[in-house]
Amino acid sequence: MSYPPPLSGSAQDETVELRPKFDAEGLVAAIAQDVDTGEVLMLAWMNADALQQTIDTGRAVYWSRSRKELWRKGDTSGHEQHVVEVRVDCDQDAILLKVRQTGAACHTGRRACFYRIAGPAGLTRT
Amino acid sequence: MSYPPPLSGSAQDETVELRPKFDAEGLVAAIAQDVDTGEVLMLAWMNADALQQTIDTGRAVYWSRSRKELWRKGDTSGHEQHVVEVRVDCDQDAILLKVRQTGAACHTGRRACFYRIAGPAGLTRT
């Protein structure tokens, strides 16, 4: 599937048409946020098919850059993301999913991927 | 400046060394989140210098892909981001900043960039 191309300048910021601005690899960044707590769970990538399937089905679907295939979150792990809302940013090169997360969003088994704080002396685990 | 290279597999997930996994263009995605409300404000990009300056100074510094230069948020607009916490994700290819935002995070003048909801019929402004 494909979307119409991005518009230029402020027209892209204000349009009510979905016109994702994919990068050279055909991807946009997608943030998953817990709709109840506001916790940022993870960041992953979507191509056009992943984005459309997410909108159509209410399940988060990403593009795995390492495996080079569509990846419906939870199909292997059981850790599904049920999508309450899909948002796009001003120039439509980033997606924000508000989700209900089953179990762990992170492949390490942690609830969220951002479990380390960076400081001048390195990282601290939370 | 430069960082040590990423480790492989779970060593990267567990290390307490900052070893960002930059993409082919030398960038990682960076999410800015309001530390008080949890609202996701924007997504931008950081190279090694932007990340280190952010950690060292407590002000959000990004890499502008369009202008190809470091961009300290607020220097032109006055809309500064004061960084309370810098987090990295499991494989260290994404950054989460918890910030106190002065004014608008979005270049459109809106508080946050994710002001449109995507659905089967297109976008709806919030």
pLDDT digits (tens, 9 = 90+) for A48-93: 999 999 999 999 999 999 999 999 999 999 999 999 999 999 999 9
Res. A1: pLDDT tops 90:
no
Q: Is B39 on the interface with A (CB under 8 A)?
A: yes
| A positions 66-105 inside 8 Å of B (CB) | 85-90, 94-96
Taking the CB of residue B100, how many other CB atoms lie within 10 A of it? 12
The mean pLDDT value for B16-31 works out to: 97
Helix (H, G, I), strand (E, B) or coil at B53: helix
Structure confidence at residue A116 as a pLDDT band (50, 70, 90) = very high
Integer Cα distance of A19 and A109 in angstroms: 34
Q: Residue A82: name the closest of A48, A35, A118 by CA.
A: A35
Q: Are A115 and B92 in contact (CB under 8 A)?
A: no
CA of A3 vs chain B CAs: smallest distance (Å):
11
Residues 6+ apart with CB under 8 A from B78: B102, B103
Q: Is B115 on the interface with A (CB under 8 A)?
A: yes
Percent of chain A with pLDDT over 90: 98
- Residue-level pLDDT at B1: 80
DSSP code string of A43-71: EEEE-HHHHHHHHHHSB-EEEETTTTEEE
- Residue-level pLDDT at A24: 93
**What are the chain A neighbours of B88 within 8 Å (beta carbons)?**
114, 116, 118, 123
Write the DSSP symbol of residue A25: T
**What are the chain A neighbours of B62 within 8 Å (beta carbons)?**
none
- Residue-level pLDDT at B111: 98
Phi/psi for B14 (5° steps) reads: -110, -10
Q: Is B40 on the interface with A (CB under 8 A)?
A: yes
The mean pLDDT value for A82-108 works out to: 98
**What are the chain A neighbours of B13 within 8 Å (beta carbons)?**
107-108
The sign of the torsion formed by the CA atoms of A28, A33, A39, A43 equals negative
Among candidates A33, A96, A106 on the partner chain, residue whose Cβ is nearest the Cβ of B90? A106
Percent of chain B with pLDDT over 90: 97
Integer Cα distance of B5 and B22 in angstroms: 9
Alpha-carbon distances, residue B99 vs A107, B6, B49 (angstroms): 26, 26, 19
In whole numbers, what is the pLDDT of chain B averaged over residues? 97
ipTM of predicted complex: 0.97
Residues 6+ apart with CB under 8 A from A99: A32, A33, A34, A35, A41, A60, A81, A82, A83, A84
Helix (H, G, I), strand (E, B) or coil at A81: strand
Q: With residue B12 as reference, give the H or E element that holds it.
A: helix B10-14
Would you call B18 and A123 a contact, using CB atoms and an 8 Å cutoff? yes
**Whole-model pTM?**
0.97
Side-chain half-sphere exposure of A58, counting CA atoms within 13 A:
3
Q: Residue B26: name the closest of B42, B48, B56 by CA.
A: B48
In whole numbers, what is the pLDDT of chain A averaged over residues? 97
Would you call B16 and A118 a contact, using CB atoms and an 8 Å cutoff? no
Per-residue tokens: A83: 């999508």
